[in-house]
């Protein structure tokens, strides 16, 4: 196996020092290192943000009989950027959040998928660890829901707490179910500061409402970071407006910022003893005839008021122009009844939300757990003081983007490399009217029981089973984006132009040769974009995986032809200090350079091309290196030898890295022929000849991948 890369004939392609260029074009916002407040709400529909309806009114079904106000979100959109086709990674909470935090779509999520809850996310690079690696102070305030089991008690919080996944500070509720209780200290659940249970001290302060409590905690933490003059990243995760539908106990305090609005008082929030729980309806919402509607609108208005409070704080601290705020939701609107009676202060359930009352799903069909647009397209707006305005940006971004893009985007803004494991693509160029060299990878898979709700303004053909839903995005030759959605094991994709047809009424599949070809391309792209994390999960507890074994039984289709030149194309990158993780060098802003003649601390290499597979069957790929590497076959994650990899050991495509299972990923079933391969590699010197690549063939024979198998 000596000099394995030479055996693999990795052909160097370099630029001379005089013409060295970054891998991606320069952008004025990249590396500006803003503070970041990422606000995620729970189960708020696209149509629940008032400013979206101005954009929707030109569409069929683009108006509503009942409307409530979100004035602060409207101001955010007026002052910043509205994203009208931003997609969640999954139409249900925990998997969507797992993909957001880990930067991968659901085809690559190793632990939290389908309808899995209170299961630890894998030990991998996260938004927290990437931003901390960029020199940021990092915090989670609010709902976590990505680790442990049970009710969040000490015995159940043994794994994947925020501080075990890259964040410096945590204040909030650890388990998913606690998010159903909007007076968390009085619910029989637990509230935590880092690993300390603070429920008793909170309860002694009165009855703190979750939105108020987490806003006050956020303000307190932001003030501390501003005093330190250190950039910060805050993931502020509100449980509202998820059911149970519980009202605040009093009006939102007047003013905002440093001296008004909600304030941290001793161990709680200043509204904790202000009134009677579950009684206050915002005056603008008293007109609605439905109790559920009054509650739903008031819960969202409370978040809206909190956003105004936070923006006032940034202005008071004189850091508004240095702080990016992103607001979005985890999935479409819910229609679930309350379930917080019995354990807490309420002896009765709250009413079930009716998404059709406000058309919370917008001009689209689908709600929570649907992969139709209404279940996946999220209310999304961002603002960045005077750095990002409608004059400097588009004002409205309608290009499709997805949750995993935030890891790439925030890394880009912070001036660090995008991890190779991330499926995301930076949206930074879109913020200033630029064009991206790589489009977002739009991919969803979700399987659960039941069918789409039968609302009168939904198309009847959309009332389908939620089992084995798969969504894939594909661009045509002109760059126009189309959505493919499949509901069965035959991967028979319906095709929609969701910009022109957001309600997905006109299925384009089969309507022309173009769309007949596209349907086949979508099927192939799914098989080339995900790994089979399904199968026998009996070795893991608490998992709720739906059966998608059929995907693992279909061979990944080969490409039509191999490269014209032998070996893989090879590109070098260098920097003064060591890389903190294996980068996706396609998105690097480092200059392409010649291979250094002497050792350097930060040495990186990108290899790309094709590998010829000799026979159809099940394969295991392996590598060994003194550095670290990440390998993709097509767009699927093949070998992860990055965060947890021990240099000098063997990493394989059969390893379930960072999870409770040492194995559990099926072998890779490949069709005979040519397959695209991409390798990102880092080392602490200038050597590129210690990366050894092997495969185990369908007949069980293990060998170094032969030189003749590679091309570019």
Q: pTM for the whole thing?
A: 0.96
Query: Residue 40's beta-bridge partner residues?
Result: 237, 328
Spatial distance between the Cα atoms of 183 and 346, rounded to a whole number of angstroms: 10
What's the token pair of residue 175? Answer: 């388990």
Q: Determine the average pLDDT of the residues in 661-667.
A: 68
Spatial distance between the Cα atoms of 65 and 353, rounded to a whole number of angstroms: 17
Q: What is the pLDDT of residue 664?
A: 58
Q: What is the pLDDT of residue 148?
A: 67
| Summary mean pLDDT of the chain | 91
Spatial distance between the Cα atoms of 192 and 351, rounded to a whole number of angstroms: 28
Q: What is the pLDDT of residue 9?
A: 45
What's the token pair of residue 345? Answer: 């202060």
Strand spans (E) along 398-446: 401-402, 443-446
In tens, the pLDDT along 243-285 reads: 899 999 999 999 999 999 999 999 999 999 999 999 999 999 9
What's the token pair of residue 189? Answer: 């659940």
Query: Residue 607's beta-bridge partner residues?
Result: 570, 679
Q: Determine the average pLDDT of the residues in 231-247.
A: 97
- 154 band by pLDDT with thresholds 50, 70 and 90: low
Spatial distance between the Cα atoms of 283 and 265, rounded to a whole number of angstroms: 27
Q: What is the pLDDT of residue 338?
A: 80
Nearest by Cα to 358 from 282, 455, 464, 239? 455
Q: Are strands 137-143 and 169-173 parallel, antiparallel or unpaired?
A: parallel
Kindly report the CATH class assigned to 4-25+557-711: mainly beta
Strand spans (E) along 17-109: 35-41, 81-87
Spatial distance between the Cα atoms of 329 and 238, rounded to a whole number of angstroms: 9
In tens, the pLDDT along 468-509 reads: 999 999 999 999 999 999 998 889 999 999 999 999 999 999
Query: Residue 633's beta-bridge partner residues?
Result: 636, 677
Q: What is the pLDDT of residue 18?
A: 35
Peptide bond into 244 cis (omega under 30): yes
Q: Determine the average pLDDT of the residues in 51-61.
A: 93
What order do you get walking across the sheet with 494-496 strand by strand?
443-446, 469-475, 481-486, 494-496
- 116 band by pLDDT with thresholds 50, 70 and 90: confident
Nearest by Cα to 410 from 25, 22, 36, 14? 36
- 521 band by pLDDT with thresholds 50, 70 and 90: very high
Spatial distance between the Cα atoms of 712 and 702, rounded to a whole number of angstroms: 24
Find the range with the poorest average confidence among 96-110, 187-201, 260-274, 534-548.
Answer: 534-548
Q: What is the pLDDT of residue 602?
A: 92
Q: What is the pLDDT of residue 551?
A: 87
Give the CATH fold of the 35-436 domain: Alkaline Phosphatase, subunit A (3.40.720)
Q: What is the pLDDT of residue 625?
A: 94
Find the range with the poorest average confidence among 132-136, 435-439, 472-476.
Answer: 435-439
Question: Is the predicted pLDDT of residue 452 greater than 50, yes or no?
Answer: yes
- 12 band by pLDDT with thresholds 50, 70 and 90: very low
Handedness of CA 111, 112, 116, 118 (dihedral sign): positive
Q: What is the pLDDT of residue 699?
A: 96
Report the percentage of the chain scoring pLDDT > 90.
Answer: 76
Strand spans (E) along 113-251: 137-143, 169-173, 192-193, 196-197, 232-237
Q: What is the pLDDT of residue 78?
A: 94
């Amino acid at each position: 196996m000596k000099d394995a890369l030479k055996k693999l004939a990795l052909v160097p392609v370099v630029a001379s020092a005089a013409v060295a260029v970054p891998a991606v074009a320069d952008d004025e916002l990249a590396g500006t290192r803003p503070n970041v407040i990422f606000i995620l709400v729970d189960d708020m529909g696209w149509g629940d943000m008032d400013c979206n309806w101005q954009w929707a009114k030109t569409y069929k079904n683009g108006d509503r009989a009942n409307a409530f106000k979100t004035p602060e979100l409207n101001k955010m959109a007026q002052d910043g950027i509205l994203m009208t086709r931003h997609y969640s990674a999954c139409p249900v909470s925990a998997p969507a959040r797992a993909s957001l935090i880990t930067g991968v779509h659901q085809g690559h999520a190793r632990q939290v998928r389908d309808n899995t809850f209170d299961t630890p996310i894998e030990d991998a690079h996260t938004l927290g660890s990437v931003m901390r690696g960029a020199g940021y102070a990092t915090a989670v305030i609010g709902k976590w829901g990505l680790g442990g089991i049970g009710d969040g008690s000490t015995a159940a919080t043994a794994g994947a707490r925020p501080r075990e996944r890259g964040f410096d500070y945590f204040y909030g509720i650890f388990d998913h179910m606690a998010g159903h209780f909007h007076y968390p200290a009085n619910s029989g659940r637990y509230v935590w500061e880092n690993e300390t249970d603070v429920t008793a001290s909170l309860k002694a302060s009165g009855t703190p409402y979750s939105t108020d409590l987490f806003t006050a905690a956020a303000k307190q933490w932001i003030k501390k970071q501003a005093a330190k003059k250190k950039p910060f990243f805050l993931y502020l995760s509100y449980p509202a407006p998820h059911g149970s539908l519980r009202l605040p106990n009093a009006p939102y305090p007047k003013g905002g910022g440093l001296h008004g609005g909600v304030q941290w008082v001793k161990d709680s929030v200043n509204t904790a003893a202000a009134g009677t729980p579950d009684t206050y309806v915002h005056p603008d919402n008293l007109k609605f005839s439905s109790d559920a509607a009054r509650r739903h609108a008031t819960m969202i208005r409370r978040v809206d008021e909190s956003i105004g409070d936070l923006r006032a704080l940034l202005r008071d601290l004189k850091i508004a122009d240095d702080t990016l705020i992103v607001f979005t939701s985890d999935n479409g609107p819910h229609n679930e009844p309350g379930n917080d009676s019995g354990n807490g202060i309420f002896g009765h359930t709250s009413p079930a939300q009716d998404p059709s009352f406000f058309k919370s799903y917008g001009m689209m069909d689908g709600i929570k757990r649907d992969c139709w647009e209404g279940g996946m397209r999220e209310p999304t707006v961002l603002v960045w003081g005077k750095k990002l305005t409608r004059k400097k940006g588009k004002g409205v971004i309608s290009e499709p983007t997805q949750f995993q893009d935030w890891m790439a985007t925030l890394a880009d803004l912070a001036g660090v490399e995008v991890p190779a494991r991330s499926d995301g693509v930076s949206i930074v160029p879109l913020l200033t009217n630029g064009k991206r060299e790589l489009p977002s990878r739009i991919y969803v898979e979700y399987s659960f029981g039941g069918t789409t709700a039968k609302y009168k303004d939904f198309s009847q053909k959309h009332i389908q089973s939620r089992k084995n839903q798969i969504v894939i995005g594909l661009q045509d030759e002109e760059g126009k984006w189309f959505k493919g959605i499949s509901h069965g094991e035959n991967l028979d994709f319906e095709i929609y132009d969701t910009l022109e047809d957001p309600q997905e009424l006109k299925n384009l599949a089969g309507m022309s040769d173009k769309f007949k070809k596209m349907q086949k391309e979508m099927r192939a792209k799914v098989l080339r974009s995900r790994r089979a994390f399904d199968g026998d999960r009996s070795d893991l507890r608490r998992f709720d995986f739906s059966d998608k074994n059929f995907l693992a039984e279909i061979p990944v289709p080969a490409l039509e032809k191999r490269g014209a030149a032998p070996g893989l194309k090879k590109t070098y990158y260098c920097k003064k200090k060591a890389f903190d993780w294996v980068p996706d060098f396609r998105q690097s802003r480092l200059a392409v350079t010649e291979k250094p003649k002497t050792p350097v601390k930060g040495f990186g290499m990108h290899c790309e091309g094709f590998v010829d597979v000799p026979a159809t069957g099940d394969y295991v790929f392996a590598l060994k290196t003194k550095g670290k590497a990440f390998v993709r076959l097509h767009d699927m994650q093949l070998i992860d030898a990055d965060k947890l990899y021990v240099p000098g050991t063997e990493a394989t495509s059969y390893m379930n890295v960072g999870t409770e299972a040492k194995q559990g990923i099926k072998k890779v079933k490949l069709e005979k022929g040519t397959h695209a391969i991409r390798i990102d590699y880092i080392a602490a010197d200038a050597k590129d000849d210690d990366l050894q690549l092997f495969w185990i063939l369908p007949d069980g024979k293990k060998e170094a991948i032969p030189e003749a198998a590679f091309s570019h």
